[in-house]
Structure 1
Amino acid sequence: MTLAGHPFAKTTLEKYSQAGKGLLLLISLYLLCPGSPSYLWTSENIGRFDAYLLLVTLAAIICCFHISSSWLRLILITLASLIALSIHQAFLFLFFPLLLTLYFIAAGGTKMSKLHMVSTCAAIAVIGIVFLYFQFFSHIRIPSCEELISLLSSRTDLPINEVALNYEYFSTVAQSSSDLVLNLLKERIRYGLVTLFLLSPLAILYLYVWFHILKAASKKERWFYTLLLLSHLSFIPAFLLTIDWGRWFGAFLTMQVLQIIILAAKKDVPALSSLHALGGAFRKHPYVFIAAGIWVGSLHKFQATLLPDAPVFFTSLYKIYRLFF
């Protein structure tokens, strides 16, 4: 998987001279898009736990790059995951693909021993058990929503959403699903489809990157990258069980770019090959990527529920059009 263990190990990095430009392009489009880290400070997202989940994840990633012992890395990833779960259980849905990537790289990738594989699976199982405990068996020690609001109001001057707290901590799953998830479901699906359309340049970009990763991987290693792709399905429960689709879209885009960065930083040959191809595509068709940057950069950042109304985007495009015509 890495340059040292891949069949292309004898190939010099000069073959992937465009990989750095491809990675820079990927990061640039991510920073322009509605899911860049600044979405965490929009009016509906500020004060939520998502920022802490991202910080814990980034800390684990950075530490893993500075620790040589695979066992220490496995322990560190597990501890970081447990800390993140104790902050918010949504971590398992949002950052599991990154968690899986770090685990497999720490355990040796496609060259991992049986002991490392068993240890990795055991660690993931422990995280799953802790998630189930936090989700279904833990509770806060405050008897009513009114007392919780009073306590929080004494500690912060941020606006407190009483409805959200009531459904989060004091309502049953059936009641929350009936009142929130199933209510206006068609409306959210409609806006979700509009959001997917607005994010289509990024969707095409990530499909391009992953297609070339799978294409460059050997048959013996393709299972690893297929598994990483399948891990993206962990986001589905978040969309099905809650209404904060804007948060999940933002986290998904963040996870995607971080996953590619991790692979590239580890000198993963299929990832470098894919980014090299992306850099070459930019050199041949720069205006396509510039147009994509203008497209995603014209969108507002994600709020908690969904992307701001589509007319905002089209108004922005019209203003840009009027600058030249």
Structure 2
Amino acid sequence: MYYPIVFSVMVYGVFEENRVHAGRFAAAFVSGLINVAVAVYFQFFSSIHFDSAKELVTFLEGRTNLTISEYALDIEYFLKMDYQLKEITPQFYKYDAPIRHALLVLLLLLPVLVWCFQIYRDVFGWQKKSNVKWYASPYFYMLLSQLCFVPMFVIHTDWGRHFAPLFAMQIFMFLFYAAKGEPAMVYACENMCGRMKKHPWIFVVSILWIAKLDSFGARDFLKQATYLFDFLQRGFFIN
């Protein structure tokens, strides 16, 4: 889930100073292939040395005081991907209304979306003024790396566990490029500071709003999004 952060660090090295470094590109390409191969292997071909989820639960319960879900372990380690695609995912889309919940999550996190949009707008605006080619911009590939989340949202049902890093990684990426003194990100951060000084109360209220929101669960959406969904469903008859 957090591979886009690693990817962003690599593309920074490859496209440092907005030009392609051939040696770094070759190293990043090989590293990327290895990472993909390892991820595919662990997801589809690896196994653990237990015959059943029950046996695994028995083993783990002797080593922790946490509650262990046999069903979750069965899905993760013993059932085939076909079961996930034919049984679990369709039921999730049918009964949990994930798309409508996701839209409400985005609505509640609108301040964060606006800030991210402003930063990317300033970054690409600076690069356009500096005549930087899009294919030589690390930010283009940084944005492209977010597509890694698409298969997880399509196949898996633990959307909360995917939403959390999707938003968190944007902040991590911005901080990394700012710490490196990358000119476009420095320009974007300076513009953001200017907006904060010009409209301080907007940022104060937005930060307080975000601070009051609950955290994401594994399969759970924001608690406030669930409350809002239930209210809309009962009050306005959303089917």
Asked if these proteins are the same fold (TM beyond 0.5), I'd say yes
- RMSD between superposed Cα atoms in Å: 1.8
Tell me if 1:105 matches 2:12: yes
Identity, in percent, stands at 28
**The one of 192, 200, 220 aligned to 2:132:** 220
Match of 1:142 in 2: 50
Question: Contact (CA 8 Å) 2:11, 2:141: kept in 1 or not?
Answer: no
Match of 1:26 in 2: none
- Residue type of the alignment partner of 1:171: L
Question: Contact (CA 8 Å) 2:153, 2:159: kept in 1 or not?
Answer: yes
* Aligned counterparts of 1:266 and 1:122: Cα–Cα separation in 2: 24
Question: Contact (CA 8 Å) 2:92, 2:157: kept in 1 or not?
Answer: no
* Aligned counterparts of 1:144 and 1:119: Cα–Cα separation in 2: 41
Tell me if 1:169 matches 2:77: yes
Tell me if 1:211 matches 2:211: no
Q: TM-score, normalised by structure 2?
A: 0.86
Structure number with greater CO (CA < 8 Å, separation at least 6) is 1
> Secondary structure at 2:143's aligned position in 1?
helix
Q: State the Cα distance separating 1:107 from its structure 2 match.
A: 4.0
* Aligned counterparts of 1:281 and 1:116: Cα–Cα separation in 2: 37
* Aligned counterparts of 1:264 and 1:290: Cα–Cα separation in 2: 22
Q: TM-score, normalised by structure 1?
A: 0.64
Question: Contact (CA 8 Å) 1:299, 1:312: kept in 2 or not?
Answer: no
Whichever structure has more helix as a proportion of its residues is 2
Tell me if 1:310 matches 2:225: yes
Unmatched segments (≥5 aa) in structure 1: 1-93, 315-325
**The one of 161, 168, 181 aligned to 2:89:** 181
Change (3 A) 1:117 1:310: closer
Change (3 A) 1:128 1:311: closer
Tell me if 1:237 matches 2:144: no
> Secondary structure at 2:39's aligned position in 1?
helix
Match of 2:193 in 1: 279
- Residue type of the alignment partner of 1:125: L
1:105-152 CA distance string (max 9 Å, x none): 334623343222112111111111111111221111101111000011
